[in-house]
Each structure stands twice: as structure tokens, then as C-alpha cells.
Amino acid sequence: MKKIFAAGLAVLMLGALVLGACEKKEEAGADTDTKAALQSIMETVGAAAGEGVFIPMTFDGEVSEENCEDKLGLSPDQFKQYAMDGYYMVAAIGTQAFEVVLVKCQSYASAKEVKSLAAKGYDSAKWVCALPDQCFVMESGRFMLLGAVYDNTAELFQNAFRELFETTAGEVNKFYEKGDNELPAGGMGGGLILE
């Protein structure tokens, strides 16, 4: 009887340890400053970019309920439900289709939900005269990164995101890729050729 009781107690203690570790993992990154994290990603990409890799001049801002549809493809209610905050960097020149958005979410599950919603709702043709080469989303812990970028920088952003967060990054979802003769909806067509 004592052995059964001891085995049961050991199982309960193991369960408590696992739940405690999950709770700590859920909280990992909660105090990370989103703006500083995105700036760090941009700096890492800039340092890793080789000759011929173009990274446009950007301006930045905070993602809010007022602009979350444009920046993420989320409704204000979805942003309020799943996100804690977000920050973006977008090309300063409107003919350069380039945007990177980092969102700190309420939890790991929320980050996965924001990743899914952004892949479905983000408008890759929102620039008037250009299209990004690709759009992707990925998550790590409670953070989600969206990139509307040139092909030769996509992997640099993904790697910088992985390096910044200690948690294991999820799969990259490349939800948009520009076709050879594709024009943006209602736009003049053409993008910036970086050769």
C-alpha cells in the first residue's frame, strides 16, 4: 500500500513540475519590449545582409486597434482579444513594398491564432505601385512576426527572429509569393528590381 501511495505521490509531483514548467514557458517573453525586439531584428538583418541585398529606409510605429487591419489583417476585436501590443517597420517610400510587424500576444496559443489570422487576412497588394516578393508569418512563444519583404531578405528576417527568442520557433507560413507578371489590384504594376 505504501508503494502504491508513493508511486501516486510521485506521479502527482511530476505533474505539478510539468505544469509549473509550462506556466513559466507561457510567461517567457512577457516582459520583452516589442519595439526594442523589432529594432534588434532589423539590426541583425542589416548586419547579416551581404552586398546586393536591399533593405529600404523605414519608418516605424505602434500597431493599435485603429491600424491592425492594415498592419496584420486582424479586426480590432481580434487584436484586442489576442495581442498585448505590436510594432511595425514599413518602407518610407511608397513604391517599395516592404513591411515587418512584430506582435506580442497574450499567450502561446494566441500567437498561433494571430499567425493563422494574419495569413488569411493580410493584404499583400495594399501598396499602390508594387508588391512584396513574399509574405510570411511565424511564431515563437508568445511572439508573431509578419514579413512582407524581398526574397533575398526573407530568410535573414526569419533567422534573426529565431535568434532573438530562446523558445522554439514554429514553422514559417509563406502565404503569398509574387508571380512573374502579377500586378497589384488596381495598381500600376511593377516592383523594385534589385540586381
pLDDT of residue 24: 44
Distance CA 80, CA 120 (A): 18
Indicate the domain borders of the chain.
Answer: 1-28, 32-177
pLDDT digits (tens, 9 = 90+) for 63-110: 999 999 999 999 999 999 999 999 999 999 888 999 999 999 999 999
Residue 66 is classified by DSSP as T
Cell of 158: 526569419
176 beta partners? 135
pLDDT of residue 94: 80
pLDDT digits (tens, 9 = 90+) for 84-93: 999 999 999 8
Whether the per-residue pLDDT at 175 is higher than 60: the answer is yes
Whether the per-residue pLDDT at 44 is higher than 80: the answer is yes
Backbone angles phi, psi at 145, to 5 degrees: -110, 130
* Mean pLDDT rounded to a whole number for the chain: 83
